[in-house]
Chains A and B, each alone.
Chain A
Amino acid sequence: MHLALFIIFAGLCVAGALNLLLQRHPINSALSLIVVMSSLAVLYLLLGAEFLAAAQVIVYSGAIMVLFTFVIMLLNAGKEERTHGSRLAYIAGFPGAAALLGLLTYIFLSHSATFGQARLGEYLATTDDISRVLFRDLLLPFEVTSVLILIAILGAVALARKEH
């Protein structure tokens, strides 16, 4: 059951990410990114992070992606023209990314036994557990992030304002 759910939603994740890579219209890329983020929320749920699964749907596939689609429509972004990027990206970037993927996959799979197996329904982190740590041990960082959000709102308004 767990393995079947993992395979379905991991497949959806990878398919969505590849679709983001291959589509040429930004709105198609944005919609496939929503698919990736929503299936990641299911994977968080499978790993027992129920609060973060809800936050992923609300914050990422809700708020952030709505902002993205809104900006795409506001700027009336059309199909991107395929120009050749920098040569350094092709020479160093893709082999680097492929080497990183190969190395990480090799390390994770060869140490698979030490990572252990995830069983469905064990170690469920409820909102209660998370807030206990967040509001007792990490109250100051939590309050500092509220200042960060406030500054980000002010910065966004100041940057996007029309100049007279």
Chain B
Amino acid sequence: MSDIAVQVDHVSKKFRLYHERNQSIKSAIMRGRRSVHEDFWALKDVSFEVPTGSTFGLIGSNGSGKSTLLKCLAKIYYPEKGTISYQGRIAALLEVGSGFHPELSGRENVFLNGSILGMSKKEVTGKFDEIVDFSGVEQFIDQPVKNYSSGMYVRLGFAIAINVDPDVLVVDEVLSVGDAEFQEKCSQKFVDFKEAGKTVILVSHSMESVREMCDHAAWLSHGELIQVGKADTTIASYLESLHGGAQL
């Protein structure tokens, strides 16, 4: 067991900005096979290491490449250059409740969503009570999820995802779901996670929560890594760059 949970090594990710895209066969044939595009590098040569057991924050303005990096970590996008290596199992929480079927009951959806997130049936069965308990929807677990309120929907989705029990958890800004009580529960879950020696990588715009939860942070701007290190110092220099470091 090494102390590096995730190693991001010279990762670059390119998107094509199409001026005239061949989205139909007709246009592909009419124009010859060429489509007109220019390359846009959403990530440029980003390298950092995430120590095992740390909570790692990714900060930066909109369009700085945070979400792209997160999707690369989650193996949804594949970088053009560089590699990302992991220690152990990784789970990504980019959206909650993806793959829920509205007509199926909460119970059926727990099993479905669990297996989409990579849990075996045995694992889901073992954790079923915990999931239902955490989501707080036990009364409605046999109702179709289309009848759930949006809060219940999100809570159930989050409860499943948080129980995947990975070694590395990658989280997009999903912390802002549910009511205050549920947020409290989530924060507690992250603390438990950390105590169990698991690694969390999260993206957030709320500097307050990053400062509170993360011990390390990386600051991205226009696809480039500006600074990486202790959360406090990274946040401070990020805020300073924005407007002299005055506000959150």
Query: Do A and B assemble together?
Result: no
